[in-house]
Amino acid sequence: MLPRLVLAWLLLAGIGFAQHPDDVFVGQKAPELKTGDAWINSNPLKLEQLRGKVILIDFWAWDCPFCAQAMPHIKELYDKYAKDGLVIIGVHTPRIDYEKDIPKIKEAVAKKGIKYPVVVDNKYQIWSDYLCNTWPSHFVVDQEGVIQLSHSGTERYEDTEKVIQKLLAKGSGK
């Protein structure tokens, strides 16, 4: 029993070390979004067509406990700033096979009250382009398509909101 507990602890501890350092991608051009397997709440979007907007890209999975912890914060940002020009794009990337079921993903989006666009990334193409390695992962992209915040895991909600506020104010000339 003890060896199993030690192994479980080591695996869980390793998850924290496997994450990218915060903001390692700041200053880089955001990779264009691949088509994905399906889009929910929207027709397919491209970052190029969203130039001039502030974008929050949220990599999540419907049965991920850490994603569930972050989701209320993401939805709050949408509710507060969508009217000011913030675009949130959820990238649903499954952690395990049963999370690839598109009808279940659509059901989860509806149950969670997600109103913003969600692209289903069952082939991990967008995930790979953004070099993600844990759920959730967040990227704030400025009006010129450059990453201004990158974060893997939970927390940093205030930092994310401050970057969004700053970028939205810049876009409005404030």
pLDDT digits (tens, 9 = 90+) for 126-139: 999 999 999 999 99
Report the alpha-carbon distance of residue 24 to residue 149 in Å, rounded. 8
Q: How far is Cα 3 from Cα 124, in angstroms, rounded to an integer? A: 33
Helix 157-172 and helix 65-81: axis angle, to 10°?
Answer: 30
Which amino acid is present at 24?
V
Task: Please give the mean pLDDT across all residues of the chain.
Answer: 90
Token pair of 165 as six digits: 């506020």
What pTM value is reported for the model?
A: 0.87
Mean pLDDT of 120-127: 97
Per-residue pLDDT of 32-75, as tens digits, reads 998 899 999 999 999 999 999 999 999 999 999 999 999 999 99
**Residue 146: pLDDT above 80?**
yes
| Cα–Cα distance, 107 to 124 (Å, whole number) | 21
Q: Each residue of 42-53: pLDDT tens digit?
A: 999 999 999 999
Domains of the chain and CATH, by start: 19-172 (3.40.30.10)
Res. 7 pLDDT band, cuts 50 70 90: very low
Query: What is the Cα–Cα distance from 111 to 68, expressed in whole angstroms?
Result: 12
Identify the pLDDT of residue 9. Answer: 41
Q: What is the pLDDT of residues 80-116, one digit of tens each?
A: 999 999 999 999 999 999 999 999 999 999 999 999 9
pLDDT at 43: 97
Residue 21: predicted pLDDT:
75
Dump pLDDT digits (tens) for 10-31: 444 444 445 567 788 999 999 9
HEC secondary structure over the chain: CHHHHHHHHHHHHHHHHHCCCCCCCCCCECCCCCCCCEEECCCCCCHHHHCCCEEEEEEECCCCHHHHHHHHHHHHHHHHHHHHCEEEEEEECCCCHHHHCHHHHHHHHHHCCCCCCEEECCCCHHHHHCCCCCCCEEEEECCCCEEEEEEECCCCHHHHHHHHHHHHHHHHCC
